[in-house]
Structure 1
Amino acid sequence: MTTRRNFLQQAGLLTAGILIAPSCMVAKADTKNIGIQLYTLREELPKDAKGVIGKVAQAGYREVETFGYSDEWGFFGMKPKEFAELLKQHNLTAPSGHFGLDPYIAGENEDMLKSYIDAAKAVDMKYIIAPYLGQQLRQSASDYQRVAERLSKAGEACKAAGLQMAYHNHDFEFQQMDNTTGYDILLSETDPELVKFELDLYWVVRAGLDPVELFKKNPGRYELWHVKDMDKANQKLNTEVGSGSINYKQIFDNAKMAGVKHYVVEQENFAMDPFQSIAQSYTYVKDNLL
């Protein structure tokens, strides 16, 4: 099965959780913003990308988050304008995308970010998200300081283009180094206006941390969440939201403190039909968490 890391490597990108937070004016969040990270359907997309997008809309989602864009491959084999038109046909939007930024972060490809900005604007995105850091970029605290510097520079370029830079975590960022963590460095050494964070709640819990404590320490920094549940028997596996061990009701009760604007459902493995799975997660989020 394709993993995120393997996919990014294959695409040449390593080497070369969706809703507006409830306000005091409304009793219930607007479900039109529930989204899905399309990496969830990475096995199905190469077979019939247009059909997959249609099934995502049928499941109830109104937003998608992309992954794996390149100038050669586009968005799942489609040029940005073609992909944007497909989304429009299904009453979908793509406010955010995961773009492989390792070469840019390493200082090897300054033009890469511009190509991503152009593609994002063509699809009317708001967020360009760094989804992963290769091991060579995160060996020390000073490495993370360099990452923060490059993310800040990317944030300036995104802001100038009317976009927002953001960073998506796994669990390695929370490992201790020099009495701190890589994640703390990224938070403290980036401007909150230039770099937002997409908090992957599964990876936070898997790292042994409490997402609500992160909200308290860094209010307003987490404009996007990845919402995927942890299998009760094996924490290395995902399951449908509401069927696992993560206390999502407590997390969602504190959504306003986090500053969240988009909840992006994601799942990386299945024990049922993937399209049945994503519909089940959507329904649980809509009916039980918002």
Structure 2
Amino acid sequence: MTAEHPLGIQLYSVRDDLGPDRLDGTLARLAALGFTHAEPYDILTDPAGLAAALRDSGLHAATAHSSVLRHDTAEIVDAAVESGIGTVITPWVAPDSVADRAGVQRLADTLNAAAEQAAARGVRIGYHNHDFEFAQRVDGVPAYEVLAGLLDPAVVLELDVYWAGVGGADVFELLPRLGDRVRLLHVVRDREPGNDRPVLGVDATDRMAEVVALAAPVLELPVVEVVAHHSDVWPLVERNAAYFRELVIA
């Protein structure tokens, strides 16, 4: 990896503990578990406050989720600069918007234009997948791979390993082909029981050490994302923190 022992967590994982009076304590708790980075999903509401809370906790925010399809790119970049965030990732698009080549081309054009605009301020633009980009095919090819081929190399990819597998991908074959386009990974080892989807591709859940090792030459940051709907998320966060800290330190 390109930095010493980094490990991030997507703050959506602990979204119920991020109110105005709870942010500082929650970030401190994540830092105590061994996370070095937090990946915010709201940088527009109070970028100065977010930056201060991150500084107080000792966590860095190299990346954040904010959609250039839903918000003005200049506003996003302003907030990223104020918060000290270097990469802003569009986290989701409507599945039907990338159901054909014209839709994929529109998405690529939007991301490419945003990347050019953001680069002038020293900020990168990225894209995060779910399952449908792999399940939906365009001219016989997964929409994700069509998109990757249309994106400017300046647009970085944050590959969500779990969702890619659900959609039909073999990440062990995909990562070498994408090469240095994938600079960020969304990873999870322990998930909430019953909160799993059928995996149409290769299930990498029990092979995360292989995934991280495969991506390591160009990987900037693995980011844990745990989503719990029916139980306390913190035991899952703690188990994932322990597992991935051991991987990144090894």
**TM-score normalised according to structure 2 size:** 0.88
User: How many residue pairs align between the two structures?
Assistant: 242
Q: Determine the C-alpha separation between the residues in 2 that align with 1:137 and 1:42.
A: 27
Which of these residues, 62, 83, 87, is aligned with residue 36 of structure 2? 62
Q: Indicate the residue corresponding to 1:52 in structure 2.
A: 26
Q: Please say if 1:81 is aligned against 2:54.
A: no
Q: Using a 3 Å threshold, how does the CA distance of structure 1 residues 60 and 143 change in structure 2: closer, same or farther?
A: same
Deviation at residue 177 of structure 1 after TM alignment: 2.4
Question: Percent identity, aligned pairs only?
Answer: 27
Q: Indicate the residue corresponding to 2:150 in structure 1.
A: 189
- Greater per-residue helix proportion: 2
Q: Determine the C-alpha separation between the residues in 1 that align with 2:165 and 2:192.
A: 13
Q: Determine the C-alpha separation between the residues in 2 that align with 1:276 and 1:136.
A: 35
1:91-110 alignment, distance < 5 Å? 91-103=58-70
Q: Determine the C-alpha separation between the residues in 1 that align with 2:18 and 2:192.
A: 28
Q: Please say if 1:226 is aligned against 2:226.
A: no
AA of the residue aligned to 1:285: F
Q: Using a 3 Å threshold, how does the CA distance of structure 1 residues 273 and 234 change in structure 2: closer, same or farther?
A: closer
Q: Using a 3 Å threshold, how does the CA distance of structure 1 residues 54 and 87 change in structure 2: closer, same or farther?
A: same
Q: Indicate the residue corresponding to 2:10 in structure 1.
A: 37
Deviation at residue 230 of structure 1 after TM alignment: 6.5
Q: Using a 3 Å threshold, how does the CA distance of structure 1 residues 183 and 60 change in structure 2: closer, same or farther?
A: same
Q: Using a 3 Å threshold, how does the CA distance of structure 1 residues 233 and 37 change in structure 2: closer, same or farther?
A: closer
Q: Indicate the residue corresponding to 1:278 in structure 2.
A: 237
Q: Using a 3 Å threshold, how does the CA distance of structure 1 residues 190 and 271 change in structure 2: closer, same or farther?
A: same
Q: Using a 3 Å threshold, how does the CA distance of structure 1 residues 82 and 245 change in structure 2: closer, same or farther?
A: closer
Q: Indicate the residue corresponding to 2:91 in structure 1.
A: 131
Write out per-residue CA displacement over residues 239-273 of structure 1, whole angstroms, 9 at most, x where no aligned residue.
xxxxx94311221221235x211010110117764
Write out per-residue CA displacement over residues 189-241 of structure 1, whole angstroms, 9 at most, x where no aligned residue.
1121x20100000111112322121122111011110011375975726xxxx
Q: Determine the C-alpha separation between the residues in 2 that align with 1:59 and 1:230.
A: 15
Q: Indicate the residue corresponding to 2:102 in structure 1.
A: 142
1:98-247 alignment, distance < 5 Å? 98-103=65-70, 112-174=72-134, 175-192=136-153, 194-229=154-189, 231=191, 234=194, 236=196, 245-247=205-207
Contact map agreement 1:120 1:126 (CA 8 A) in 2: yes
Contact map agreement 1:270 1:277 (CA 8 A) in 2: no
Q: Determine the C-alpha separation between the residues in 2 that align with 1:103 and 1:123.
A: 19
Q: Determine the C-alpha separation between the residues in 2 that align with 1:180 and 1:146.
A: 17
Contact map agreement 1:165 1:196 (CA 8 A) in 2: yes
Segment drifting more, 82-91 vs 194-203: 82-91
Write out per-residue CA displacement over residues 146-167 of structure 1, whole angstroms, 9 at most, x where no aligned residue.
1001100011011111011110
Q: Indicate the residue corresponding to 1:254 in structure 2.
A: 214
Deviation at residue 279 of structure 1 after TM alignment: 2.2
Deviation at residue 129 of structure 1 after TM alignment: 0.3
Q: Determine the C-alpha separation between the residues in 2 that align with 1:234 and 1:282.
A: 21
Q: Determine the C-alpha separation between the residues in 2 that align with 1:132 and 1:246.
A: 26
Three-state SS of the structure 2 residue aligned to 1:226 is: strand
AA of the residue aligned to 2:37: E
Three-state SS of the structure 2 residue aligned to 1:277 is: helix
Q: Indicate the residue corresponding to 1:11 in structure 2.
A: none
Three-state SS of the structure 2 residue aligned to 1:219 is: helix
AA of the residue aligned to 1:93: H
Q: Determine the C-alpha separation between the residues in 2 that align with 1:147 and 1:208.
A: 21
Three-state SS of the structure 2 residue aligned to 1:252 is: helix
Write out per-residue CA displacement over residues 166-202 of structure 1, whole angstroms, 9 at most, x where no aligned residue.
100001111212222221121111121x201000001
Three-state SS of the structure 1 residue aligned to 2:182 is: coil
AA of the residue aligned to 1:53: L
Write out per-residue CA displacement over residues 111-162 of structure 1, whole angstroms, 9 at most, x where no aligned residue.
x111110010011111010000024522322100110011000110111110
